Structure 1
Amino acid sequence: MFKSKAGTEFLEKMSWVADMLMFSILWFVFSIPIVTIGAATSATYRAVQVRMKEGNGIVWSVFWKTFKNSLPQATVSWLIYFMITLVFGLNQMLLVNDLAGSWLNHFSQIFLLVVIILITPVLVMVLAYISRFEDNLKTVWKNAFILSIAHFKV
């Protein structure tokens, strides 16, 4: 069809855009049950990584295989983060509505905010780590924490 180099490059770019669109749709569909956001994110990370490395359009098979493999660990990791964020949100709602104004509520709000800020980059690294390697959850969190500290940029 296209015999020029520009035409071939255009088709490759459009293939890349189509694959990214498919990854986005798969992530959204698999994230509809809130519980599976971690596994969907992990699977999307791995599928995009394979697409970048190999350059072919294997979208569904890589995503599905990684989703199944990472579901238990990514779900536990995501739910820990989600619960901390949920408690933070509920406490904030109580503080805003003047339903709880003790020093303990204010202290816990600040503490939870610091925990959320510190755990977010570690969670991103955990989900990426889970998509690539098979370790127990304690080792995953330990290695992700070490990698987050090692790659910290100000």
Structure 2
Amino acid sequence: MDAPPPADGMRRFWFLFCTHFFKIILLNLLYLLFCVPVFTIPAATAGMTNVLMKLWREGNCFLWADFWSEFKTEFPSRMFLWFAMQLVPMAFWFLPAFLGAKTVAFWLSLIAEAFILLIDAYWFPLVTTMDVSSAVSLKNACLLLPIAFKNSLAMLAVIALFYGVCYLLLPFTLPVILLFSFSCERLILCLRVQPVMEQWLVQKEE
């Protein structure tokens, strides 16, 4: 008699990764393709996150249908909100740098970028699973960041380690970046975000 699939944690991650190996590769390539015009990055990230959240919660997904349905949802508002967030680290860099404090500018912009990455890590799963607007989901993401502080630190470590290793080992990691990096990193973030949402938020019914 076959054992049931793991319900959570890294055991579930590896189960899904091995079971849906080629689907995860295709999703990564699809994401990169739809990020080519830079203004579509937030929509593409929402589409990829929707696929992976369904995969994480239900154990299966429809790659193109789930990606495309979320890609086109609230496209203008998500694009505006995402690009507005990217301005925050830039502001923390330019103002001190303009005043001659380049070292201060570097560290302030780095801290701001870390916060933005964490907000993104909560925001995109929220927009795919909450029956509220993208703006309200962004507010909820900002609230979850300090509420689930230990989880937020763990996610920051995942992001930093994942992309730090990919960057330091270039060009050897280029195939990994092209085939796995974004979809795998996002699937690990789903692992971290799903329990937090179950604890603090009411998700929409499918």
1:58 is aligned to: 62
Assess if the C-alpha contact under 8 Å between 2:126 and 2:141 holds in 1. yes
The alpha carbon displacement at 1:30 in A equals 1.0
Instruction: Tell me how far 1:113 sits from its aligned partner.
Output: 3.4
Structure 1: runs of 5 or more not aligned: 6-11
Which structure would you say has the larger Rg? 1
| Contact kept? 1:19, 1:57, Cα under 8 Å | no
Equivalent residues in 2 for 1:57-96, closer than 5 Å: 58-87=62-91, 91=94
Q: Distance in 2 between matches of 1:61 and 1:137?
A: 20
With normalisation by structure 1, the TM-score equals 0.70
- Alpha-carbon distance, 1:57 to partner: 5.1
Higher relative contact order (CA 8 A, sep 6+): 2
Q: Deviations over 1:96-133 (max 9, x none)?
A: xxxx5635x66555443332222321122112211222
Indicate the residue corresponding to 2:201 in structure 1.
Answer: none
Contact 2:35 2:41 in 1 (8 A): yes
**Match for residue 117 of structure 2 among 110, 115, 120:** 120
The corresponding residue for 1:19 is 23
Q: Tell me if structure 1 keeps the 8 A contact 2:90–2:109.
A: no
1:120–1:20 distance in 2 versus 1, CA, 3 Å:
same
1:33 partner letter: P
Quote the sequence identity (%).
20
User: How far apart, CA to CA, are the structure 1 residues paired with 2:92 and 2:52?
Assistant: 32
**Structure 1 residue 67: deviation in Å?**
0.7
Segments of structure 2 that go 5 or more residues without pairing to the other structure are: 3-15, 154-206
CA RMSD of aligned residues (A): 3.1
* Residue equivalent to 2:100: 102
Task: Compute the TM-score of the two structures, normalised by the length of structure 2.
Answer: 0.54
d(CA) in 1 for partners of 2:99, 2:139: 36
Aligned mates of 1:108, 1:118 — CA distance in 2:
15
Q: Partner of 1:152 in structure 2? A: 149
Partner of 1:28: 32
Aligned position for 2:133: 136
SS of match in other structure, 1:135? coil
SS at match of 2:62: coil
| Structure 1 residues 56 and 111: CA distance shift in structure 2, 3 A | closer
Per-residue Cα deviation, 1:76-95 (whole angstroms, up to 9, x for no partner):
22201333345566x49xx5
